[in-house]
A and B are shown apart, each in its own frame.
Chain A
């Protein structure tokens, strides 16, 4: 929020339920040096360190005179630094320098085009408390969300928080995803987050393949500028009737699209229908999406299940979703992760059958036979392919017998 004379800004969060965050009011002055006014429960433990960091960040941005008021509720350095940077940039929108905390060694791992994406946990991009422990719940991916979960006047500050989280929060091996805002705002998001080992960008309300091409191009350009050799994957989210009709074009817009998701809240609104647990109203859209993805050779991903207390409903939903051909779902609460993972993992019966098929396949190949048979049944190549996939799934999800 900008004051009229543009020398005061206020960012971050404070109050009752806010944790691991801080609110900063920065006033840039002409003289008088830096005055830091810190209120914090952890002041006796970290006050010196927080004040030192504040001075460092402001001096980095060349601000010798300012009054900084910090109301802190246990923010880590990465949060405080992000808030300070946002406060500076609210006053000085043309400031292009970035105050970057180190990218932790453990945050440098790569992802894979065909990584499993059963469960991906949404994390509101301006709520640090929910980010810190997200990785311990072992989702396949975490989504730092800059779109719907961030209030319009918080979009800017969320970018720096998400960037610092990408560098400093250990997500313990989860695929690192960011959901950007629809274009053109989304391009600004990319500039801030892409250099920091983002594995995948989620593109909301995807309707136009050209947008995906532009995002892909932008990503490549940013990575090149930062001398990073890496491919950033895309996951468009289809949330409109038009998007559904263009599903295949979106899925094949650029090779970096490796998965495509459906967002049913927005889609049902666009269709003008109520969203039900059975999902009859979105059946066409969902099967259309699955078909488009399979045709394009990418992963179809289902919408989130929004009742976080209904684990049985979630399980039923996930099983239905898998039966339709989806290969994962979004999660809005860590407790959903395990239920979803289990529903999308192969069952013991499936594993058993797949392992027999693979065995028969290997035998046939060793004997130089062109045809694979299991008992009296002929096994077609697609069946082998499916069995292969189930075995890989079983291995990666730890569902193989004898594990655990």
Chain B
């Protein structure tokens, strides 16, 4: 099976291997170049005769559900990050697997969080072979030090849907944590102590996994409506005391940054959108949940109010600020991928114009189109951007893998992509010669806004034209890089060993780059 690994230079100029974890992979071929063939993956055909006629699929415990689902060595288990850093479920699953002595599992989360540091002993003792999903914080550090048995695979939210649909990842058991569910398996994220708004990240898993378990801490009698997850896909339902720590699942309130430097970045970003006419009647936008992104939204609000402009839709991560724009009529629809605060959850439950989406509608490469490309402007972050406008979101300049991709790669397909980033952070330049890890090709990244100037991708002649005569501080990306180096000094590149610790997938499933083990300084 595992043939000799060969290395090729992919279309982005990065050296990538022919196989990851013993399975062949395809090198990145360029944006929109890879044409998939064949048919979508299909799960086994079930029959309703095998399920309780009264619809009650409850089993006594998560352990019983996992055993009934046939948990055994080498399986792929999927979980979802709706509970974010307050998640108990993934930790419970692998506690059970460890107790049962099951080995070499592949964990396929839609994202991991620092709370999953709990799983490091299971990565050490072989319960978990490797992770295919984001590795935030401690897990990323663990992987970066070369300690994970297998190789990590990082995908975007859309890429995860793609990998499930085309069979690149075959999920044996999907465990879906839901804030509200009924015994049949209908589930949503709207109601209960662990409310998260929606369950979009679990949608593909419910449809394509061999076995599906729904776990809730808020079991209601049939019907649980709306059924964001349909019980007809579900094998077992389980009631537990608590799915997570509500304080950490969702913040009671999201807060706009108070850092004057970040507010300045946000304001400059919004002014850029004003000057270039990106903010126009009926436009659409997406900003993230980071403090700077939230602030960009607030400056959008000021400009829209002043000019009497309304947005047709905004893509969430929703939060109280976006919700208030919806309720004030500045935004007609929120198409929401995840809710970041309780106001977002409330609005989604109450307001028909606050619509939940999934990576299928928004990001999927195997869809007959998706929403990402319809968005006029998206505001994203990055750990590094280089003079080719290539960007990195997963590793830091010291080489450590510390973040996931999330929807970031998918959002690059928006009509205008703007990255407001500081020129340097605590001496670490953010605008660099060449990104440590390539996550997004420069041809999709249009504008870099830093506190010391705005760089527009030379491909965007239209934008360059539109800012002419304005007082916006436009510079070339090379100028910005030089300024960063003048202030910080030229950094030494991160040093790596030859060992690949993770592959970075592009939205189509090809390998755009790999991350290697960090070489530790002696002493």
Contacts and interface: CB of A to CB of B under 8 A. Distances in A.
Contacts of A74: 425-428
Contacts of B428: 42, 45, 74
B165 to A, nearest CB: 40
Interface stretch (B215-223, B259-267, B439-447, B504-512): B259-267
Contacts of A49: 489, 492
A45 B492 contact: yes
B471 A76 contact: no
Contacts of A43: 521
Given A47-B521, A76-B487, A76-B488, A136 B426 contact: no
A44 B487 contact: no
Interface in B459-482: 471
B398 A42 contact: yes
A42 B426 contact: yes
Contacts of A133: 260-261, 451
Given A76-B487, A137-B260, A333-B260, A42 B452 contact: no
A73 interface: yes
B495 A46 contact: no
Interface in B427-459: 427-428, 451-452
B491 interface: yes
A335 interface: yes
A241 interface: no
A136 B398 contact: no
B427 A75 contact: yes
Most interface-central of B260, B264, B495, B521 (chain A CB within 10 A): B260
Interface string A36-50: 000001111111110
Interface string A309-321: 0000000000000
A20 B489 contact: no
Give the dominant DSSP class at B's interface. Answer: loop
A20 B424 CA distance: 11
Interface string A59-103: 000000000000001111100000000000000000000000000
Given A44-B399, A45-B491, A47-B521, A136 B427 contact: no
B452 A136 contact: yes
Interface in A1-50: 19-20, 41-49
A339 interface: no
Nearest to B492: A45
A136 B450 CA distance: 10
A44 B425 CA distance: 15
A404 interface: yes
A46 B489 contact: yes
A41 B398 contact: yes
Given A41-B426, A45-B428, A76-B487, A136 B521 contact: no
A333 B264 CA distance: 13
Contacts of B488: 46, 76
A136 B264 contact: yes
Given A19-B426, A42-B426, A43-B521, A132 B398 contact: no
Contacts of A48: 492
A300 interface: no
A301 B397 CA distance: 45
B427 A44 contact: no
Interface size class for chain A? 20 to 34
Contacts of B240: none
A19 B426 CA distance: 6
B494 interface: yes
Contacts of B491: 42, 45-46
Interface in A101-142: 132-133, 136-137
Nearest to A18: B426
Nearest to A136: B451
A334 B487 contact: no
A330 to B, nearest CB: 16
A289 B495 CA distance: 62
B492 A46 contact: yes
A41 to B, nearest CB: 7
Contacts of A77: 489
A42 to B, nearest CB: 5
Nearest to B451: A136
A74 B487 CA distance: 12
Most interface-central of B426, B488, B489, B495 (chain A CB within 10 A): B426
A77 B491 CA distance: 13
Contact of B260 (A47, A75, A132, A335): A335
Most interface-central of A43, A44, A47, A136 (chain B CB within 10 A): A44
Most interface-central of A42, A45, A137 (chain B CB within 10 A): A45
A333 B489 CA distance: 28
B270 to A, nearest CB: 14
Nearest to A73: B426
Interface in B248-265: 260-261, 263-264
A162 to B, nearest CB: 18
A47 B399 CA distance: 15
B367 to A, nearest CB: 41
Nearest to A21: B426
A76 B264 contact: no
Contacts of A137: 260, 264
Most interface-central of A73, A75, A334 (chain B CB within 10 A): A334
Given A44-B398, A46-B489, A76 B451 contact: no
B427 A46 contact: yes
Contacts of A20: 426-427
A19 B427 CA distance: 9
B471 A404 contact: yes
B259 to A, nearest CB: 10
Contacts of B495: 44
A47 B491 CA distance: 9
Nearest to B483: A170
A404 B271 CA distance: 12
A42 B521 contact: no
A41 B489 CA distance: 15
14 contacts: A41-B398, A42-B398, A44-B521, A45-B397, A45-B398, A45-B494, A46-B427, A46-B489, A49-B489, A74-B426, A76-B487, A136-B451, A137-B264, A335-B263
Given A42-B398, A44-B492, A335-B260, 13 more contacts: A41-B398, A42-B427, A42-B428, A43-B521, A44-B398, A46-B492, A47-B492, A47-B521, A76-B487, A136-B451, A136-B452, A334-B260, A334-B261
Interface of B: 260-261, 263-264, 397-399, 425-428, 451-452, 471, 487-489, 491-492, 494-495, 521
10 nearest interchain CB pairs?
A74-B426, A45-B491, A334-B260, A74-B427, A136-B451, A44-B398, A133-B261, A19-B426, A42-B427, A45-B492
